[in-house]
Chains A and B, each alone.
Chain A
């Protein structure tokens, strides 16, 4: 891009054409003042990022059809007591018995079929998420499920479906309650209670326009795996006879068949996979015990893979109903460590003061924000940004997003572990009414969620920063990159002032192929980046080794690869003039392209990456030159360069971040490996970014720093 711009500049300024077009002149002015522009833009970009909590808007229900809370709850105490009876029946079963899980499923299925709804079992083989280099960005149907199913382990979900009495059955709303059938857990029993109370009510109502699916997900192999495999089977039916035969033969001899036959006698449990319409929304309901809370709280988790978010309206509806109808405290996750940072509080105070001053000057300007609000907002925003950047779903709802279904996880935690039945019933009533309200609201939808935002960052449960606002900071950060690249290129190719007389400033002896050698270097390093990103696939095949060993093998192999590359491509010719400028120019262009591409895939990653890479690239200058210069400015630059290159190295960056958040107490080299493993296991694009954009650019910056010019 920079080259193109450059060529335009060159073509537009021949001497016989005295006045180029204004856009060209503007470009020339910006390029010739690229240092000033980049300093201003980068500062503004960082400032804009810190202003985001102030610019956050209050959420509002954008979709008219939703009408949350307009209908009064129909849930009665009868539903609750029936649900509690189910919970008691489930927990009273001896957990030690081998068939307790089967017995629990049977009890649950019986309760469901007594409601008159369709009940089905869904058996699945949990499979480990494995790194497969070709499966990034591929559809969820990766064919992993039936490859090497060992018969020893499988899970069984229980699914109940209410058919909407007056509707066409083309749409459905999904409720998910993770439940470990093998274990007795009071909080999971509580979530089953809530789920059943809502479900039994919904089986009676006349106002359903969408079918209701209640998935009691067998969580013994993880909550996500069971939901994901059910979703996969729901959306991708298997027609091949052989594979189904395989699966069945696998279950032969196990007691699943026994279970099915036994239950078929009394209840009508379908043997086939039951489906309803396309999913309008999904709610994952969990109850957790968190000690030391002042009131019943509801935590909302929304981030799905690669920073995708459900439509903001879904969060709004839940937040509105929880706060204004059921009196629950709604939380979204935040970085608690940010609250401890003094300088954030100082910044908050400053902004508060500025807001007040502005308010006193003109009462129309109301951008003031109280300091605690600002700090809370920053902590939540940081977490929101981090979770999205990580690209790992924060709960089973992530599986729905892969099928473009809006879903969130609601984690309700009671104030205390209720022993009193009355208090417990009241808690169930409130939670169930919340779910009922959300279901009724979503039921009113006429189309898929589309009115509100999909691209946003939350700064509190009721405040958000939309894409139009947060893009500004990023755009300001990356804007100097092409300008600096162009200006470096111009500088590098400037004719020697001694040989030619003083001419027009930008009239240059244009050598179009000079940048090719630099591009070759950049390409080689990026190829190395691809190699490094693919290495873990082979390393992870090594049996019986610890993450720490993996990390060390990986590190040494990568370094070895780099050395080999260096030796192969090393040119023995003496460094030419403008070589490092060309290299830097091409590097910056590549970083620019990489960041822009990444901002499309996962904005948060690009934003965090830009915060590190942009200063690293812009500041990079051979240390030799700076040392030779020996001024205060060059020493400052050396310090900055060394610090940034140190921090920008991915493992170092990871441990620094971790240390800032959790303290520098115990560090294990293996943790970095585990962290990266989770990234590729979840097909996070952040992994690709780190391997193919960040790491090569870091190496190139290092190369420029150590350049022997």
Chain B
């Protein structure tokens, strides 16, 4: 809104000299960035980071597959670049250490046992009886008690893309938590609305694998939300296959085919969301996958799946990116290092470092961006703009008289 005032001022001074126009343009640029930074419209905010909230809501040994579903997805999003500290993993039971598990401390999602999902480093943030509707809603809305550590919080911002994956036993407009409570579609919609109000996401993809999963989205109204469900109302979601060695079903159909889709992808693939959506075959799923896209603005064909399931940021193209490399030995090292921790912010700053020397425009943009990051109080930035208006006012008054 603040940009309107200088705009109006400049329109009145259209007859002014070219020098004045140049100054005005710079002011407009400056203030529009300030407006973006204030987050009044998330559409124009840049996608800056990715989060994933993966929830398995059911207990008991015979629900092994739900934990395997969640762990499989955990592994996939981790492989595609979302770091552990940006994944909130909620597992309602511990199948790996269940005494009925033939393979202690291992969880498989396929009867071929090629892949141990519980292998090297799995960080479970909420486990066992911590997985409650209350905790789930607290994670989404960020209303924690002060003692809750950062690792258990969803510290997303208005530039975040969040993947929310839930699996368990559900029904018409509810999802069962822990055999004792339910998350209703109203609760979910309310939480998402709160998140929107609090600028906790830019885009949110909700993926639910339960029976009658589509009904869980009935109450959603917040923009920027995309929803995928494994089954329509009145349909069941079935398990994919039984591992006769472990003695339980190990994966659900919807998740299985989602994983099959992602197994063919790596971090740099450009597969779009619509390709993912079209990959579900009702005959294989034995249910109809459901997509709710009316709240989502972008064209699904242009949105790569890694926007949600990975952490691949949009890079700002530079005209001479390749020339930069020979001189950039030290930044490359940093990139490798930061690549491991996959800190998006630092990566972006590396990019801006790279482009600093070559292109004046990108340099200005990136310096402004970095300033935006570093300068805490945006008000001062705005104040500078207002102060700069004063000489313009003086000049225009002097010219008109």
Contact = CB atoms under 8 A, between A and B. Distances in A.
Contacts of B247: 67, 70-71, 207, 440, 444
Contacts of A208: 99-100
A72 B100 contact: no
Nearest to A207: B102
Contacts of A168: 99
B248 A65 contact: no
B248 A209 contact: no
Contacts of A209: 61, 98-100
A446 interface: yes
A691 B10 CA distance: 111
A70 B248 contact: yes
A206 B61 contact: no
A71 B104 CA distance: 16
Interface string B239-265: 000101111110000000000000000
Interface string A238-265: 0000000000000000000000000000
B325 interface: no
Contacts of A29: none
A70 B242 contact: yes
Contacts of A139: none
A419 interface: no
Contact of B102 (A65, A167, A205): A205
Interface in A24-78: 64-65, 67, 70-72
Interface in A179-218: 205-209
B384 interface: no
Given A67-B247, A70-B248, A206-B104, A164 B62 contact: no
A443 B97 CA distance: 15
A72 B60 contact: no
B32 interface: no
B45 interface: no
A499 interface: no
A544 interface: no
**Max chain A C-beta neighbours (<10 A), residue from B60, B62, B246:** B62
Contact of B60 (A65, A70, A207): A65
A166 B103 CA distance: 11
B157 to A, nearest CB: 42
A166 B98 CA distance: 8
Given A71-B246, A72-B245, A167 B62 contact: no
A71 B99 contact: no
B245 A71 contact: yes
Given A70-B247, A72-B244, A164 B60 contact: no
Contact of B99 (A64, A72, A164): A164
B100 A443 contact: yes
B338 interface: no
A253 to B, nearest CB: 45
A71 B62 contact: no
Nearest to B97: A166
Contacts of A165: 99
B99 A446 contact: no
Contacts of A70: 242, 244, 247-249
Interface string B369-398: 000000000000000000000000000000
A418 B331 CA distance: 81
Contacts of A72: 244-245
B222 interface: no
Contacts of A167: 99
A524 B59 CA distance: 61
Given A70-B244, A164-B99, 7 more contacts: A65-B60, A72-B244, A165-B99, A166-B98, A166-B101, A207-B102, A207-B247
16 contacts: A65-B62, A70-B249, A71-B244, A71-B246, A166-B99, A168-B99, A207-B101, A207-B247, A209-B61, A209-B98, A209-B99, A440-B247, A444-B61, A444-B62, A444-B100, A446-B60
